[in-house]
Amino acid sequence: MKTDKTSKYVLVLAEKAKEASRKLSLVSGTERGAVLLKMAEAILSKQDFIARENEKDLKEAKKKNYAKALVERLVLNEKRIKEMAESLREISRLSDPLGKVLENYKRPNGLSINKVSVPIGVIGIIYESRPNVTSDCVGLCLKSGNAVILKGGKEALFSNKAIFGVLRDALKGTGIPEDAIQLIPSSDRKGLEEMLKLVDLVDLIVPRGGESLIKFVADNSRIPVVKHYKGICHVYVSDKADVKMAEEICFNSKVQRPGVCNAMETMLVHKNIADSFMPSMIKRFIASGVELRGCALTRKLFKEIKKKATEQDWYEEYLDLILSVKIVDSTDEAIGHINKYSSHHSDSIVTEDKNEAQKFLDSVDSACVYWNASTRFTDGYQFGLGAEVGISTDKLHVRGPMGLEGLTTYKYEIYGTGQVRT
């Protein structure tokens, strides 16, 4: 699409989404849930069509010699299509986040003030190569009464269009207008750029992808963005830690799944516990292929660690089997290091001392702060939210894992009997 045409196209599509969001906000929770089940059925009954369209993306990917990992994310086999349907069913079963009375009180003049949860309006979701995100996000947005505008990766364009078409067809004859779900079908960033300008039509942007995508979105829009750029997570092993527990928590935080945002990137160790804790820990990390980078004292005390952790390392999200290690003099030093270098995502202390733990929990300025647990628990499902729309390291609207509630806002409905202000 050319620029002017794209611009007009995206504007019209967003206007339709806004209009549809007004109607959608009045649809009952029961009906929203039922529509999601209908969509799950549609996905299953059209699985051959979806798989065929997916083949086109895979063919293109091979032609362009995409990386194996990317191609792997693109694939929609029978199992994955079934999972898409199952995911819609799960979202359908979640409790309705709308119409909750958050506060309700009467003023001395008799005005009755009700603060109730309502949809945000129109959500823009930007994602990369996984086509199943298309149906997940449609499910989450409709369940929470929001219209959605989808912009997926160009590698998955055939698959996304196919899934989107099936879901949109499923809206026919329901109380939810078809225009409540929209997809920008452009294969470049032009359509995205246009959407990012529509401050009056799009209420929230949720980018699901890597740091560069998120930065691009946040830098190019005045629409609020739920985001986390990085997960630079720490585990601090206090001198009052249970050594065995500390080893399990550190190992799990780093090794269980190193490529995700809630994995540990830096381990902080109190100097007084280094002797008893480090030798076995180092051995275990090395045996699992973890590259260790140490501060000066770490390298002096433990010769097995040869590589230096530079200033830059403390800011690094490795997303890999690499760990920077620092020995500290005190809990205060650990807290100071974390508040300076952390991405304010997830940080943990291992200690048997309750007062020290509480001080750490209160002082570390991060979305999720743990006492005696792995940082890997920061996740919508692990938190029992039933879904994960995203994770936020911002402080406003949502902080930490974002469930359906993060797709709602509130309004005040005020009931009077003729009150005027004197």
**Binding interface with a second copy (CB under 8 A):** 22, 25-26, 105, 107, 111, 113, 120-121, 203-204, 218-219, 222, 224, 242, 245, 248-249, 251-253, 256, 339, 361-363, 365-374, 376-377, 382-384, 394-397, 399-400, 409-422
What string of H, E and C letters represents the secondary structure of 262-325?
A: CCEEEEEEEHHHHHHHHHHHHHHHHHCCCEEEECHHHHHHCCCCCEECCHHHHCCCCCCCEEEE
Comparing CA positions, the residue from 79, 97, 84, 194 lying closest to residue 410 is 97
Task: Give the nearest distance from C-beta 152 to a second copy in angstroms.
Answer: 24
Residue type, 313: D
Q: Whose Cβ is closer to a second copy: residue 98's or residue 183's?
A: 98
Task: Give the nearest distance from C-beta 385 to a second copy in angstroms.
Answer: 10
Task: Give the nearest distance from C-beta 372 to a second copy in angstroms.
Answer: 4
Q: Whose Cβ is closer to a second copy: residue 166's or residue 192's?
A: 192
Task: Give the nearest distance from C-beta 187 to a second copy in angstroms.
Answer: 28
Q: Whose Cβ is closer to a second copy: residue 53's or residue 347's?
A: 347
Q: Whose Cβ is closer to a second copy: residue 279's or residue 336's?
A: 336
Q: Whose Cβ is closer to a second copy: residue 63's or residue 421's?
A: 421
Q: Whose Cβ is closer to a second copy: residue 38's or residue 376's?
A: 376
Q: How far is CA 263 from CA 232, 266, 340, 375, 379, in A?
A: 8, 9, 18, 6, 11
Task: Give the nearest distance from C-beta 401 to a second copy in angstroms.
Answer: 8
Task: Give the nearest distance from C-beta 395 to a second copy in angstroms.
Answer: 4
Q: Whose Cβ is closer to a second copy: residue 158's or residue 341's?
A: 341
81 neighbors 159 (Cβ within 8 angstroms): no
149 neighbors 46 (Cβ within 8 angstroms): no
Give the whole-angstrom CA distance, residue 409 versus residue 91: 19
Task: Give the nearest distance from C-beta 257 to a second copy in angstroms.
Answer: 8
Strand stretches in 17-121, DSSP E: 101-106, 112-119
Handedness of CA 379, 381, 383, 387 (dihedral sign): positive
| 209: DSSP letter | S
- Kindly report the length of the chain: 422
54 SS3 class: helix
Give the whole-angstrom CA distance, residue 309 versus residue 14: 48
Comparing CA positions, the residue from 348, 343, 345 lying closest to residue 268 is 348
Give the whole-angstrom CA distance, residue 83 versus residue 76: 10
Q: Whose Cβ is closer to a second copy: residue 45's or residue 416's?
A: 416
Task: Give the nearest distance from C-beta 104 to a second copy in angstroms.
Answer: 12
